[in-house]
Structure 1
Amino acid sequence: MVILGLILLALAALPAVLVVMNLNILRATPRHLPQGDVLVSVLIPARNEAANIGPALDAALKSMGVPVEILVMDDGSTDETPEIVRAYAARDARVRLLTAPPLQEGWTGKVHACHHLAEAARGTHLLFVDADVRLEPHAAALLAGHAQATDAGLVSAVPRQIMRSPGELLTVPTINLLLLGYLPMGFMRLSRDPGLGAACGQLMLVEREAYRLSGGHAAIHSRIHDGIQLARLFRRKGLMTDLVPGERLASCRMYAGFREAWIGFAKNAHEGMATPVALPVWTILLLGGHVLPFALLPLWPAWPIALAAFLSLSSRAVVTVVTRENPWSIPLHPFTTLVGLAIQWSVLLRIGRARRAGWKGRLYPVG
């Protein structure tokens, strides 16, 4: 048991150390405003987003520090999405409504919409934003400025995640914990290794020429997780990518409950952790570092187990506070980790809905 306790302590200490290192790196990131003749195209793919598109446009239209154009691609909506955008476009010339052409064979829906948005955009920088994201006024300027100052072809950030229901608290916090606890950002900024590529598809800015050189969304047309896939694509082409703190650049409420969150995370799983090689490793890391210390503590309250549980919960608490997430996610931390692993295994084993992935009502075969 002593050896097991020490193993669990090591598994909990790894993300704890990386969280501290990564947050120090991110907090030290200089803020740059864009220089020269810069236009940011805010690109929003929208399919049945009547409840979201108005607030998304209101936020984007408040952008400061850089001129913007805002393009919304209506992708086969059956609700009032196009009518809402049309009304905004009639009031403000910066807004344009586009209609997606029929989905091409072999393409996934969101990637297809983003590809056509990029083709229609006039900006020097393209800012891909989901319809449920609310940009802060300085977001477009700071992302473009960072791309210029660091010569990064792609800059991404995780918006502040809004969570209101227990189902969201049991799923969404995994995003920031995985990024901050397991991605060595110091190495990421020094290397163009595709394995270190990471981005959040909710908020992702690319420099136009770098996007063209990489092949853009057309090069990942059969993929669903455009954040990870674009970052890796850029790095394979020798282009640098970067992550910056996003909790003060934008906010996002991804899902409204547990069922929606499970389906949403499952659709990306097979392009991330849910592979036969990766998932067993992730299971050891996450189960050992964030679940077993709490499960064993009542049975064997020895110092390695107690310290492992303390480090795990402290990591979650620090990430939660710094990223301005809902603090109720902290006591749920081991359960959140278990749910995250359950989603990944359901996809790998093709259980139930995990046999199919999709975006906004479209379904695609997994794997």
Structure 2
Amino acid sequence: MPLMEINLGDDRVNDWFMVVMLWVLPLLSLLLASVAALMFAGNLPQFLRWRAGELSPTEEEPSISVLIPARNEATGITRTVNAVLANTGVVLEVVVLDDDSVDGTGELVQQIADQDPRVRLISSPELPAGWNGKQHACCRLAEAAQFDLLLFLDADVRLKPTALQQLTRRKAQYAETGPAKGKPIALLSAFPNQETGSLSEKMLIPMMHYILLCYLPFSRMRSRTDPGYAAGCGQVFVTDREAYQRSGTHAAIRATRHDGIHLPRIYRQNGMLTDCVDGAGLATCRMYHGAAQVVRGMLKNAHEGIANWRLLVPFTILLAGASLLPYVTLGYALVQYAAGDHRISIWFAALVSVAAIFLSHLPRWVAAWKLPQSPTGAFLHPVAIGLFLTLQWCAFVMHLCGQQIAWRGRDS
């Protein structure tokens, strides 16, 4: 009798397991993939929309200070500065802060400054305790700026000739709807065209667009000043001096490595509107070179993004549920079918899983076409999701253990 009860219990467990694997989990994966795909479909046109419109040759020329923190950037700093100087339709200056470089970065900038009075080189004082190197450099650069419009530019970003004029035009716009209607854009961020070389770059670098466009409601971000909608790309930020001072400047985020999130957040905490747009036609950037740099780059500030106790579990469910789970449920259905089980539930699980797989890939394929990104990375999307989540969990564990990735010779 006890054996019969155990067998009955095992049958019930098996039945419940089958229900979960063939009905519940396939539907869950389809739901999560659908939410991400629908959010992407709504966000992408808004992200790209501002591309429209031709520049007027009679448009007033704004004055702008382009501020570049540079630490050991000798391989590319000359191209970066010359690309800024090639911009038309603006009055500009370029201020570069040489942050204790040991590779001749400062000397290269000074050579350009000797030929062009629009370029200035300043040196960084000793990094104060409690400051991140980039945030300290940006703070000092803003103090040295001549003009009231400020563009913070990473040293590996190459601007196109009309980029500054286009960015200042967008910065001058206002919120069109919602509680923030009529508020000016106090801080604008642009996502450059991300150049990729290695396979790891092709898979993982586009994840920044995937997370942004699949999980941030752009309509709310552009109509409200809530800090929860803060988003940006630390490679290109445009602001004005008054708003920058009101936000608390980079001093308010002095310890962070992740200005892409934290700088927009302090603006919003002070009631100001921020925006982020596609900058693929305005600038290019090669963030990392090879797998080792990709891994280190993604680990160094992951805790300030997703890899923390508030976001890591929800995003693991969202990303893995939409992009990895349907492969598991499809595989299970195929194994059951091969074993001779041809019930309708097997067909249901297989078809729903295939639909979820299609929807989970769709944003990456559309992004590869529109932004543009690598088709190879889009094809390997589930592998990218698996690697991305693995790195986030590694970063979380490292943070709990008090470990931090050094970047450009610094732990801060």
Normalising to structure 1: TM-score of the pair? Answer: 0.95
In structure 2, what is the equivalent of residue 271 of structure 1?
A: 304
Displacement of 1:351 after TM fit? 7.7
The answer (yes or no) to whether the contact 1:167–1:259 under 8 Å persists in 2 is: no
Structure 1 residues 269-316: Cα deviation after superposition (integer angstroms, max 9, x where no partner): 111111112100000000011122234434326121100000011111
Displacement of 1:33 after TM fit? 6.1
**Distance of aligned partners of 1:37 and 1:160 in 2 relative to their CA distance in 1, 3 Å threshold:** closer
Distance 1:209 1:32 in 2: 29
Distance 1:142 1:45 in 2: 22
More deviation in 298-307 or 263-272?
298-307
In structure 1, what is the equivalent of residue 373 of structure 2?
A: 325
Q: Does 1:297 align with 2:330?
A: yes
Normalising to structure 2: TM-score of the pair? Answer: 0.85
In structure 1, what is the equivalent of residue 338 of structure 2?
A: none
Distance 1:119 1:249 in 2: 26
Written as runs of structure 1 = structure 2, the 5 A alignment for 1:1-367 is: 1-29=22-50, 31=53, 38-150=62-174, 151-300=184-333, 302-350=350-398, 355-364=403-412
More deviation in 92-101 or 318-327?
318-327
Secondary structure of 1:190 counterpart? coil
Displacement of 1:68 after TM fit? 1.3
Structure 1 residues 104-139: Cα deviation after superposition (integer angstroms, max 9, x where no partner): 110010111111011101122111111111111111
How many residues are treated as equivalent by the alignment? Answer: 364
Distance 2:187 2:399 in 1: 35
Q: Which runs of 5+ in 2 are unaligned?
A: 1-21, 175-183, 335-349
Displacement of 1:149 after TM fit? 2.0
Displacement of 1:326 after TM fit? 1.9
Aligned-residue Cα RMSD (Å) equals 1.8
Stretches of 4+ aligned residues off by more than 2 angstroms: 26-38, 294-301, 351-354
Q: Which runs of 5+ in 1 are unaligned?
A: none
Distance 2:100 2:146 in 1: 23
Structure 1 residues 27-69: Cα deviation after superposition (integer angstroms, max 9, x where no partner): 3335586965731111111100001101111211111121111
Between structure 1 and structure 2, the one with the greater Rg is 2
Distance 1:118 1:31 in 2: 31
The answer (yes or no) to whether the contact 1:31–1:142 under 8 Å persists in 2 is: no
**Distance of aligned partners of 1:300 and 1:40 in 2 relative to their CA distance in 1, 3 Å threshold:** farther
Percent identity, please. 41
